[in-house]
């Protein structure tokens, strides 16, 4: 991972950004990118949500310390407070970023599933959605990924970034796919906006 100052900050007109972090090893870079977003766009209001699997790679406590706000788990609460998290996630942001987005998350989102608060919000929001895929070796060429990617590319408010070569933690070879650098994804999102 390079120095944050080296990552050029493109124009980003979002005012309220919801960042969804899923359970890829690339989630370990979430603090870096959240810090970069705050430094590059000081007026941007950021909220983050993590999946259970993301907690294997990054803690909600570390993210909360960076953002100076609570970072909830993407799960239906056992003791629901007033209000509905999925409605907040669908209506509060003008932009949603799923970074990194695992193969599982992409498949569930493309298939129309809504079994967590964020997935339900993504199925109903009018906000611009940017997705940074993080895929295991071979997934980029799979029939299912290509079909899911086509389904997401057809949505008018979704931008799926092109993943880049990544180091597989299993094989130690450059056969995995990592999310595109966040500045590149932001440029694509702004072009759609």
Q: How much is the pLDDT for 119?
A: 97
In a domain, 175, yes or no: yes
Could you tell me the two tokens for 16?
Answer: 């309220």
> 10 Å Cβ neighbour count for 77?
11
In a domain, 2, yes or no: no
Distance CA 99, CA 17 (A): 12
Overall average pLDDT of the 26-35 stretch:
97
Overall average pLDDT of the 123-152 stretch:
94
In a domain, 5, yes or no: no
CA angle centred on 133, ends 62 and 121, rounded to 5°? 70
Dihedral angle sign, alpha carbons of residues 98, 22, 175, 172: positive
Overall average pLDDT of the 92-107 stretch:
97
Domains held by the chain: number? 1
pLDDT digits (tens, 9 = 90+) for 33-47: 999 999 999 999 999
Distance CA 165, CA 180 (A): 9
Q: How much is the pLDDT for 1?
A: 47
In a domain, 1, yes or no: no
pLDDT digits (tens, 9 = 90+) for 140-175: 899 999 999 999 999 999 999 999 888 788 787 787
In a domain, 6, yes or no: no
In percent, the amount of the chain with pLDDT more than 70 equals 95
State which residues form the domain around 27: 12-76+84-192
The b-or-e profile of 26-58 (16+ CB within 10 A means b, else e) is bbebbbbbbebbeebbeeeebbbbbbebbeebb
Q: How much is the pLDDT for 140?
A: 87
Instruction: Supply the CATH number for residue 187's domain.
Output: 3.40.50.1950
In a domain, 154, yes or no: yes
Q: Give me the torsion for CA of 48, 75, 65, 67, rounded to 10°.
A: 20
Q: pLDDT tier at 136 (50, 70, 90 boundaries)?
A: confident
Distance CA 70, CA 63 (A): 8
Over 90: is that where the pLDDT of 5 sits? no
Q: How much is the pLDDT for 46?
A: 98
Q: pLDDT tier at 7 (50, 70, 90 boundaries)?
A: low
Of the candidates 97, 89, 86, the residue with the CA atom closest to the CA atom of residue 27: 97
pLDDT digits (tens, 9 = 90+) for 59-87: 999 999 999 999 999 999 887 667 789 99
In a domain, 20, yes or no: yes
Over 70: is that where the pLDDT of 4 sits? no
Q: How much is the pLDDT for 3?
A: 52
């Amino acid at each position: 991972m390079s120095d944050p100052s080296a990552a050029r900050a493109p124009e980003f007109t979002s005012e309220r950004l919801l960042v969804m972090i899923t359970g890829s090893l690339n989630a370990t870079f979430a603090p870096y990118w959240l810090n970069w977003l705050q430094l590059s766009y000081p007026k941007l209001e950021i909220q983050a949500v993590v999946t259970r699997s993301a907690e294997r790679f990054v803690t909600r406590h570390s993210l909360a310390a960076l953002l100076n706000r609570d970072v909830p788990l993407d799960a239906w609460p056992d003791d629901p407070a007033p209000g509905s998290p999925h409605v907040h996630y669908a209506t509060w942001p003008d932009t949603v970023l799923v970074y990194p987005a695992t193969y599982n998350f992409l498949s569930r989102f493309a298939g129309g599933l809504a079994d967590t608060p964020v997935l339900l919000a993504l199925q109903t929001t009018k906000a611009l959605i940017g997705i940074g895929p993080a895929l295991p070796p071979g997934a980029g060429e799979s029939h299912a990924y290509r079909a899911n990617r086509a389904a997401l590319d057809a949505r008018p408010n979704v931008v799926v970034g092109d993943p880049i070569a990544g180091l597989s933690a299993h094989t130690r070879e450059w056969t995995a796919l990592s999310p595109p650098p966040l500045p590149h994804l932001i440029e694509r999102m702004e072009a759609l906006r």
